[in-house]
Structure 1
Amino acid sequence: MDTRSNGGPGGLPAGAPVVRAPRFTGRDREVFAITQTLAGAPAAVLVEGEAGMGKSRLVRELLAATSPPGSGRVLVGTCPPFRQPFTLGPVVEALTSTVDRVDELGLSPLGGALRPLFPEWTDGLPAAPEPLTEPAAARHRLFRAVAEVLERLDLRVLVLEDVHWADEATLEFLLFLTARRAPKPSLVLTYRPEDAPTDSSLRWLASRLPEGMARLRVQLAPLDVLETGRLASSMLDDKPVSAAFAAFLHEHTDGLPLAIEESVRLLCDRADLVTQDGEWLRPALEDIAVPPSVRDAVLERVGRLSAPAQEVLRAAAVLGDPVEQAVVLAVCDLPESQYPQAVVEALGSRLLHEDALGRLSFRHSLACRAVYESIPISQRRGQHLRAGRVLEGLLRPPFVQLQRHFREAGAVGEWCRYAEQAADLAMSSGDLQTVAGMLNEVITRVDLPGATVVRLMGKMPLLMVWVDQGLLHDLVEVLRRVRDDPALTSTERGLAGWQLGRMLLHTGEFAAACLALERAIPDLAERPLDDLHATITLSWLSTTHGSAGDYRRWLDRAATIVADPSTPTPNRLAVHADRATILLVLGDDAGWASAATFPTDGGTPDEASQIVRGNANLGEAAMQWGRYDEARHRVMLAARLARTHGYQRLQDACRSVNLRLDWYTGAWDGLADRAAALAALDDDPTVQVNALLITSLLRTAAGDWTDAEQTFRSAVELGRGGGVLIDPALTPAAGLARLHLLAGRIEDALAWTEQPLRLVTEKNIWLYATDLAPVRVQALLMADRMNEANALVTAYAQNLGDRQAPAGQAALLLCRAILAEGRGDTTRAAELYGQAADTWQTLPRPYDALLARKRQAACLLATADPDGGAHLMAQVRLELAAMGAHGDAERTQHVLSEHGRQRQRPRRGPQGYGDALSPRELEVVRLLATGRTNREIAKALALSIRTVDAHVNSAMRKRKVKSRTALAVAFTQVKSPLSFGVFEARSGPL
């Protein structure tokens, strides 16, 4: 029976359904999993899903239905969709709406650091502490102060919604909370993966938590057809909907809960539903389609409201974030008499929401965006201008919002003023990303006076700029224009040149950077600290782009400035570290004397950050010299200080150097997993290059040449041109060239070593030729270019001299041995290979020592001592296999077989592993057992998804299981790799 009619009350059809708020549907498993996880606090629960997937509803239902076990408070905050988020905005909002009397919390003097963020608490807070010049230190102090407030509140669970919009300071504060040893709250975070910036710290929260803190990652999926029908039914007085209508809704909304809800409301508003045989259905499904997007549904609903109600919605959309009703109405272009009814109607549409504090905002961001984009641009500008004027008059003007409104209104003067004020506030809290975003827009989009640009650039955190090459080039063009502005004073011109030099340095225009800095330094006499930093930067650059000896002149000048007692300690430490590192990179023994006086511990956070950075750099330099004990010592103490002060990027840098050290010293246990985890961070390119390099080297040693070549290429591409003195791609290129030699591709090996050798020669960084020179010499000999090989070894020896650089000396011995073998002097070659192996082993560098022993054994087999050569080769084979270098062990066995000394065991199956898992299959299964998808495994191992699929299917076949889960269970139940069938084909005696 069709119950539609136009005779119902209020103009609605007589049989029209009463639309209710939707019941919570289809998320029972997620609620159960979250509840169980929170029962074992502390825990981090990350709820992810696209817009409209029901993340906020899940959290509300969870908190309403079950309180966290034990005592404690729950704090809830939301990250509004600001273009430039406010520093610690969601935490500030949650605390100000919760804490009435801050003086009752009994805060320590540290609480004074909260004054900039909580002016309404001023009367109850301790006195403001002394300001800190280092942003990282200010941020760390602020984090400690906020954490103290949370402890005093006995916080059990901190809930933050929409953290994809969170400012970087908020995300770093969450990392800070998780890293604390003190009692810490559980975290419940909701976010949209598609809207999270690729460099967001949210990735760290999702992948790295300290031991003892549970993690649950809940990925909300769309509702299926049955759940879609249940959701629609819950809105229609619990009457069932037809299967066809449920399928129709699901097809056109993709099961997105918000889209389902909005579509049902629209259908009811249009009286487009009927009942038949007790079910709601929609007639003529083919003729009238539900709008395919939430935007269409929202705008049609808005169009059914009165003009005053629409004006309220447009004002709320322009404001964007929750604000008091008076602010929304002040932005509206309405007579005051229409205010009450317009607000009631807007709230009644359920597009607008009123929170517990009486603030108005859109219930869903998609609806807000749809309304905002529907406003004509000219009208939108006027509303932004009114919004800015209204917000200016508040007791606590929101600088971030003000700069946004005046920017969109085209009011350049106000935009610049508030952008700078907002940046200053963010800088006081160490929120560098917000600072960079706001200042960049002003500098690059407005034709500002030169002096203003110089002032704003002085506040620009370049760490946030260097990751965006497009932004860098834009700023370079602005600075080039400004530097020649005749209105600038000499000091301003010097600052513009110094800023330009730094920018050019990171765009790869090194010669231009060198010229810009040389031109700027004479004008920096009144700015000694800027003069100092410009000088040390020029020291780096002049090693390549200046005249011979220029780098020592600039280094000596930097040392003179540092000796000035008025130079602040952090600056003195920074230059001390840079100067010692430059000397060591260039092979200058004077660097060791300077390094010996560099401190290993510090007092203030400002000093500690420079001590961490300096020791990490000195540790890496020591590694290149082959002084592995000193390198390990430096890196370990740097990592310890970095953990103490929460310097995450520096921790990653230390982990990166440790990867190389572990590879060199033969500590290969778990090395592949650590490299894969570091490569997956997708953050610092240099760190990623090192992680990919180690993965490639391990694959080469294991005999997985195809995958090794792919990963080497990724490392080279990622690292190419990424350094000033040292190109991060140099060592991966040498590894790739060695792989080509193993495959007999001589011309490819020569091509991949040509440019790296040119860099070594031009920059005079011969200590970095340790891996490169032997491969290049071998390739030249195989190409019958003996004279070039001789010249290269001679140049290497002359530049290395008698330096106490064990790695370089071992590589030089190896080069000389390769030359002797190439000349046919196998007796001399065997002797030199033995000396090289002894030197490698002393470092220790056992893998390279074994490879040299293998060459020595091959020479002995060709001389009068074949028995000794065979014995040595067999011993090398055993030791290579024990290390996990099964590819090299196989090649060693092949040499023995050719000389009739050992009979090679037959290979089983097409790949020689039979029913055992290959090394690559084991690597894939190990990551699969951690819960990663094939796509995530492919990214971590630098493979194609198709290759990972093939490895998983092969492993399932070998283990005789039919699912990924069964394969993971089989892996986690075994006690050792061998019991899982790894390397079974190669585990027997010779």
Structure 2
Amino acid sequence: MGMTVGLSAARPPRSVFVGRDAELAELARVAVRPPALALVEGEAGVGKTRLVRELVRRPELAGRTVLLGCCQPMREPFPYGPVVDLLRDTAPLLSRVAGTLSPIVGALRPLLPELAPLLPPEPPRGDAAAERHKVFRAVRDLLAAYGPVIVVIDDLHWADEGTQDLLRFLMSPPTANLALIAAYRREAYAAGASSVLEAAHRLLSDDNTTLLRLRPLAATDVGVLAAGLLGTREVGQDFAAALHHRTAGIPFVIEEVLREFREMGAEPRSHALDLVDIPVLLRDTMADRLRRLGPAVAAVVHAAAVLDAPATEDDLAVVSGLPPGRVARALTDALTGAVLFEVDTGRYALRHPLARQAVDVSIPSPQRRKLHARAAELLAGRPDRVPVRLAHHYRQAGDIANWVSRTVAAADHATEVSDAALALQVLETALADTALPPRAARTLAVRLSRVAATGIARVSTVDRLRELLRDGLLTGTARGEVRINLGRLLMNQAGRVEEGQGEIEMAVHDLADRPALAARGAAALVLPTFGWRPISSQFAWLEKATKLAAAVPRDDELAMVVHANRLSLLAGTGDPRLRPLLDRLPRSSRSPRVRRQLARAFSNVGDSLAWTGHYPTARSLLQISSTLMAETDVPYLSTLRTGTGLRIDALTGNWGTLDADAAHLIEQAGEMPSLAMDALLALAWVAMARGDRDAAGRYLDSAHAAAQETAPLQIAVSAARVALALARSDVAAAAVGADRALIRVRAKENWVWAADLVPQAVRAFQRAGRDADAVSLADEYAAGVAGTDAPAAAAAEVLVRAYLAADPAQALDGYLQAAAAYAALPQPHTAATVHEAAATAAIALGDPATALSSLTAAVEAYAALGCTRDADRCRRASRRFRPARPRGRKGYGDELSPREREVVDLVAAGRTNRQIADELFLSPRTVEHHVARAMRKLNVASRAEFERD
């Protein structure tokens, strides 16, 4: 019978075990082949202790005795400390072998008084060397008596000399039936030194020994570990990658960071890691290691922490202020002690960002300022200097003037290289600093608002801009421009349209003497998709923007801003005047600024056309926009293009990668919910088409919450909710939802966006017995879309007339026309559903050829989309219209016919006769006959028995 003793075994694991399966299997292989020796080597926190704990749980070790001991970092360790500790708890084992022990084992009585009654008498004492030899022999004999036994020694690098000699004695030659496993940190030994057991390791055969060097975890393993520690099924790849970078994949550091993270209660997103404090245990551990290594090493490590980038020996000498000779020696000691690492040839840094922060906070402030001043002086003279790093060093050195100028340069450089996220971070950090002079704050505030309007901002960006406007620091032109850009940010990204429009209106008033800026503000209020103000008010703002722009001397960029928004307004309202203007729109420009506005024009017009059903044209315009911005993309614009593309994919049946692409866009949107609205709507549409009503409802709720003031999206969400309510036979909810949505459409004065809503509303009103309301709505819709260039609206108008047709032949003709119109858009799933409606009308007219043709078209469309359940339903329904077999009808006797089997299956699934009739395109009376015959053939007394069968 085996047992495990030792304090380490009593501690439960703190996390999932990941990334070490191969090492664990190798360790178990050696442990069961005594005499054996396994060495586990790795830096602090890499998971050595966890590995040997997992070994104890391996099934291969069942029935074996495992003894665990741990060396302690004591100034004067107890003699043979870990060995004494692991033997002290072996009384159960000792009681079984007490009568068979060699007399020499009595030498352990002074070391193990707790076991003295079970040990042989203590042999006569000799000199110190003799006593030491007796102890060694006694331990060997006792372990041999316990054998086969596995001894685990953790943190061997802290072992006292006596323990080291004892372990060497046990393995030279190896003790029979003993497998010794030792874990240690190589860096804890002096330069060139090795573990006391490595010589013994070389003497054993390959089958009886192993040396495992544990490496940090890979990013994928970090993600698995993080999910386990946070209690979630998985974490995002971005979060895992950020955590890996922050911790270098060292499990101990990961666990400490995520302990802090759990206490914060934050969602596992990469940017949230920036809010995590340095774990206290990590900070104390680093401080202790630097104290042990001495002041010269600490000075070099401090310099490396301040530089915060791989540095040469010369760099470290300049920043630390130490003579080159001392730097060389200190650097060697820092590398040996695994405080610094050579990350590139001749370049050194701390292991991970958290280690750097832990060192940085330990540097006294006066010393830190000097170090940063030296670092700034060092980097300023280099041609490859990084502006953001230089700005940081000047700020930490207390050089405010240089800090401000370098911050401006850093933000401009980040903007030039399309790193909007970095530019936002630099500007927000500077504006939050109370040392920033007012004049500089105004300059940086304007820059922040410009970057925020085109990049993907965060909630903190909005808060910072609002605070700047509130505290009275900004006046005149600066205040007006910040308000315009904040308004654009609120409208485009935050989904707070009314609030954003209010900021821009105030800005236009502020900028009465600056027509160029005022024109930009007025133009921003022209875009039709924003808010619930009527379209007529947006045409009024277009007129105002045009007049303001005309008062500005030649400004090609401004002219394109106004013209781009004019085109978006025409496209969003289905105005036929758009086409010739769009054809004349240049496809490029020599001016980067005009080129950017052209890209915005093509993107916005493409988005507007996607809402009206011009899908191929919309795709081509999005591609033109993407090409124009290939070199200097605008993150917000890129996200908008991606979202519009997803919306088009969902409607046109391009579903191959839609789920993954939508999930990526939602993650990318971050704290700006309206950037995810298209992805959420696309997912809802596809879920509805696939018959997953619960998922569709969840996505619709999320889309509604993400952009409550984006008119076409909200109308589309309402249409989908009405359709869901009808599918669930909740006619009251469908009719009320339609009424509420139509109020908003009438207020917006733009019926082309109601192409999805109006057909569903008409169906809801018909089923609610409100036929007059259905007819009135159809007339109102026809008048609202008259003269527009909106293919989706045109198809919807035909479908609505088919729903309302009093004559079955007219209804069939209308369905066939509508199906063709939807197929041409293309909206293949909608076309398929209309084909089914046409088949029902054809059956009612006694037109089997048309019914078969329509059902065949529906089958093909559904099958192409992967909607197999819908395709099978239509395929079954079409069988009755196919030509009969020449041999005549087959009789089934007492067996169920295929049709009877279909009916029985549906009854067993809980369907009513009415539902079965609708699904199989039969009359309820026919279904009753099938049920009665099936009950007779199966000899059952009730429908409920079908379910049991």
Q: Which amino acid aligns with 1:559?
A: T
The structure-2 alpha-carbon separation of the partners of 1:434 and 1:623, relative to structure 1 and needing over 3 Å to count, comes to closer
Q: Which has the larger radius of gyration?
A: 2
The structure 1 residue matched to 2:780, chosen from 786, 795, 800, is 795
Identify if the C-alpha distance between structure 1 residues 416 and 889 changes in structure 2 by more than 3 Å, giving closer, same or farther: same
In the other structure, the counterpart of 1:477 is 466
Structure 1, residues 362-417: CA drift from partner, whole Å, max 9, x if none? Answer: 35226843751661675675466555665476456654224334555677665444
Distance 1:475 1:375, change over 3 A: same
By relative contact order (CA 8 Å, sep 6+), the higher-ranking structure is 1
Equivalent AA in structure 2 for residue 801 of structure 1: A
Paired letter, 1:806: P
Deviations 1:241-290 (A, max 9, x none): 8449789995525699xxx9x9999742664754331499999999x9x9
Match for residue 24 of structure 2? 225
Residue 432 of structure 2: SS of its match in structure 1?
helix
Kept in 1, the 8 Å contact 2:369–2:396? The answer is: no
Corresponding residue for residue 856 of structure 1: 838
- The answer on whether the counterparts of 1:491 and 1:526 sit within 8 Å (CA) in structure 2 is no
Give the equivalent residue in structure 2 for 1:766: 751
Residue 585 of structure 1 deviates from its aligned partner by 1.0
Structure 2: 5+ residue runs without aligned partners?
1-16, 54-69, 74-152, 189-249, 254-281, 885-897, 908-949
Q: Which residue of 1 aligns with 2:501?
A: 514
CA distance in 2 between counterparts of 1:241 and 1:477 reads 69
Matched ranges for 1:711-790 at <5 A: 711=696, 713-714=698-699, 716-718=701-703, 720-722=705-707, 725-726=710-711, 728=713, 730-731=715-716, 734-747=719-732, 749=734, 757-786=742-771, 788-790=773-775
Structure 2: distance between partners of 1:595 and 1:803: 16
Partners in 2 of 1:799 and 1:323 — Cα distance?
A: 69
Question: In the alignment, does 2:374 pair up with 1:403?
Answer: no
CA contact (8 A) 2:557 2:594 kept: yes
Residue 444 of structure 2 corresponds to residue 456 of structure 1? yes
Structure 1 pair 899/515, CA: closer, same or farther in 2 (3 Å)?
A: same
1: CA distance, partners of 2:787 / 2:797 = 11
1:293 shift after superposition: 3.6
Q: 1:833 maps to which residue?
A: 815
CA pair 632-495 structure 1, distance change in 2 beyond 3 A? closer
TM-superposed deviation, 1:633 = 4.5
Residues 612 and 792, structure 2, Cα contact 8 Å, conserved in 1: yes
Task: Find the aligned partners of 2:678 and 2:804 in 1 and give their Cα distance.
Answer: 30
Whether 1:705 and 2:691 are equivalent positions in the alignment is: yes
Shift of 1:438: 0.3
Q: Deviations over 1:792-817 (max 9, x none)?
A: 43432332233232321221232243
Deviation at 1:422, TM superposition (A): 2.0
In the aligned structure 1, how far is the partner of 2:564 from the partner of 2:287? 60
2:339 matched residue in structure 1: 351
Structure 1 counterpart of 2:518, one-letter code? D
Where does residue 625 of structure 1 map in the other structure? 612
The within-5 A match list for 1:361-760 is 361-365=348-352, 368-369=355-356, 371-372=358-359, 375=362, 378=365, 382=369, 386-387=373-374, 390-391=377-378, 394=381, 399-407=387-395, 415-446=403-434, 451-460=439-448, 461-463=450-452, 467-482=456-471, 484-485=472-473, 490-505=476-491, 506-524=493-511, 527-540=514-527, 544=531, 549-561=536-548, 566-628=553-615, 630-638=617-625, 641=628, 657=644, 661=648, 668=653, 671-673=655-657, 676-677=660-661, 679-680=663-664, 682-683=667-668, 690=678, 693-694=681-682, 696-698=684-686, 700-701=688-689, 704-706=690-692, 709-711=694-696, 713-714=698-699, 716-718=701-703, 720-722=705-707, 725-726=710-711, 728=713, 730-731=715-716, 734-747=719-732, 749=734, 757-760=742-745
Is the Cα–Cα contact under 8 Å of residues 480 and 507 in structure 2 kept in the other structure? Answer: yes
Contact 1:536 1:555 in 2 (8 A): yes
Is the 2:38–2:181 Cα contact (8 Å) retained in structure 1? no
- Distance (Å, rounded) in 2 between the aligned partners of 1:390 and 1:781: 79
**Partners of 2:310 and 2:344 within 8 A in 1:** no
On the 8 A contact 1:628/1:843 being kept in 2, the answer is yes
Query: 1:377–1:748: structure 2 CA closer, same or farther, 3 Å change rule?
Result: farther
Q: 1:406 to 1:604 in 2, by over 3 A?
A: closer
2-structure distance, mates of 1:336, 1:640: 53
**1:812 aligned residue (791, 797, 801):** 797
Residue number in structure 2 paired with 1:975? none
Q: Which one of 171, 195, 206 corresponds to residue 277 of structure 1? A: 171
Q: Distance in 2 between matches of 1:896 and 1:403?
A: 74
Judging changes above 3 Å, is the alpha-carbon distance between structure 1 residues 304 and 590 closer, same or farther for their aligned structure 2 residues? same
Distance 2:329 2:876 in 1: 89
TM-score, normalising length from structure 2?
Answer: 0.59
Alpha-carbon spacing, 1:293–1:387, altered in 2? closer, same or farther (3 Å): farther
- Secondary structure of 2:787's partner? coil
Evaluate the alpha carbon distance shift between residue 331 and residue 511 of structure 1 in structure 2; reply closer, same or farther with a 3 A threshold: same
Q: For 1:500 and 1:649, how far apart are their aligned partners in 2? A: 14
- Provide the C-alpha distance between the structure 1 equivalents of 2:303 and 2:158, rounded to a whole number of angstroms: 23
Distance in 1 separating the partners of 2:154 and 2:521? 63
Aligned residue-pair number: 669
Whether the 8 Å CA contact 1:672–1:698 is kept in 2: the answer is: no
Do the aligned partners of 1:444 and 1:478 also contact (CA within 8 Å) in 2?
A: no
Contact 1:635 1:654 in 2 (8 A): yes
Structure 1 residue 581: Cα displacement = 0.8
Identical columns (%): 23
Q: 1:70-89 counterparts in 2 under 5 A?
A: none
Unaligned runs of 5+ in 1: 1-52, 54-218, 232-239, 913-990
Q: Which residue of 1 aligns with 2:119?
A: none
- Structure 2 CA distance for partners of 1:523 and 1:451, relative to 1, 3 Å: farther
Distance of 1:476 and 1:876 partners within structure 2: 56
Question: Take 1:465 and 1:279, find their aligned partners in 2: how far apart are those partners?
Answer: 72
- For normalisation by structure 1, the TM-score amounts to 0.56
Q: What are the equivalent positions in structure 2 for 1:246-325 lying under 5 Å apart?
A: 250=47, 252=49, 267-268=156-157, 271=160, 273=164, 274-275=167-168, 276-278=170-172, 293=252, 295=282, 299-325=287-313
Contact map agreement 1:686 1:719 (CA 8 A) in 2: no
Give distance in 1, aligned partners of 2:852 and 2:330: 94
Q: Quote how far apart the aligned CAs of 1:580 are.
A: 0.7
In structure 1, distance between residues paired with 2:878 and 2:822: 24
* Preserved CA contact (<8 Å) 1:893 1:904: no
CA–CA distance in structure 2, aligned partners of residues 541 and 651 of structure 1: 20
| 3-state SS of paired residue (2:788) | coil
Contact 1:766 1:799 survives alignment (8 Å): yes
Alignment CA distance shift 1:846-1:426 (3 Å): closer
Moved more, 263-272 or 620-629: 263-272
Q: Once the 2 structures are TM-superposed, how far is the Cα of residue 738 of structure 1 from its aligned partner? A: 2.2
RMSD: 5.2
Distance 2:703 2:252 in 1: 39
Closer/same/farther in 2, CA of residues 599 and 563 from structure 1, 3 Å limit = farther
**What's the offset of the Cα at 1:778?**
1.9
